[in-house]
Amino acid sequence: MPRNKYPEETVQKILDVSLKLFMEKGYEETTILDIVDHLGGLSRGAFYHHFKSKDEVLNALSDKLFFDNNPFEQVRQEKGLTGLEKLRKVIKTPFLNEELQEINAMSVPLAKNPRILAEYIASNQRVLAPLLEELVEEAIQDGSIPDLKYPKAFSSLFAMIVDIWFMPTIFPCTKEELLERLELIKDLLDKAGIPIMDEEILQLAKQKITQFMESMDQK
């Protein structure tokens, strides 16, 4: 068989098919064979040439959905917003992306895998933390938040908290305990003069936490 001259097209096709199947059948119910059967003649070998497992496909989908609708890139193009307003917008935007929310929810159980968890944490600090730091620095410069002595450390910690500490497969908790964590972070930020989480973000987060934890209880 001739070698595929356009491997990025194959990857895109695998991701498109997988997303459709995950949304229709659910992640657990979708098999690699299901994905291969919908690839229009591509072999299982073609799948494994790009992805070692279904877990890797899900991780790649999560990254793709984020970067295709990157809220940090979107706020860079907006004029007239303070750094604080941009921070709030990048936090709020993913809550309004239903596909991203569903894929992220499917990804949560994968954190039990040490290799995937390590990759997830590394990506969190390599990608998300610097993007947050850029907006924190902007907010400090325009005075919408007070001067922080350690903006880089704050951004790293905040990225870790919102992406890792709120993941119940890593830090087991009940729905009520997860909601308490959310309220605690808001209180700490407000008292520090960094009101990143306004009431709209708080209510969106509470809604998503409640939906996610109730769906986990039903499994």
Domain segments of the chain: what residues? Answer: 1-51, 54-217
> For residue 161, what pLDDT is reported?
92
- List pLDDT tens digits, range 145-164: 999 999 999 999 999 998 88
What's the CATH fold of domain 1-51? Arc Repressor Mutant, subunit A (1.10.10)
Helix (H) or strand (E) holding 179: helix 175-191
Q: How far apart are CA 160 and CA 216, in angstroms?
A: 22
**What are the two backbone dihedrals, phi and then psi, of residue 74, each rounded to the nearest 5 degrees?**
-65, -45
The mean predicted confidence, pLDDT, of the chain is: 88
Residue 3, judged by CB atoms within 10 A of its CB (0-12, 13-18, 19+), counts as exposed
pLDDT bracket for residue 104 (50, 70, 90):
confident
Are domains 1-51 and 54-217 of this chain identical in fold? no
Average pLDDT score over residue span 31-41: 92
Contact 208, 95 (CB under 8 A): yes
Of 10-14, 39-43, 125-129, least confident by mean pLDDT is 39-43
> For residue 181, what pLDDT is reported?
96
pLDDT bracket for residue 197 (50, 70, 90):
very high
Which residues neighbour 192 within 8 Å (Cβ) at sequence distance 6 or greater? none
Q: What is the largest CA-CA distance in the chain?
A: 64
- Sign (positive/negative) of CA torsion 154, 158, 161, 163? negative
So what CATH class is 54-217?
mainly alpha
What single-letter amino acid sits at 205? A
> For residue 102, what pLDDT is reported?
83
pTM: 0.80
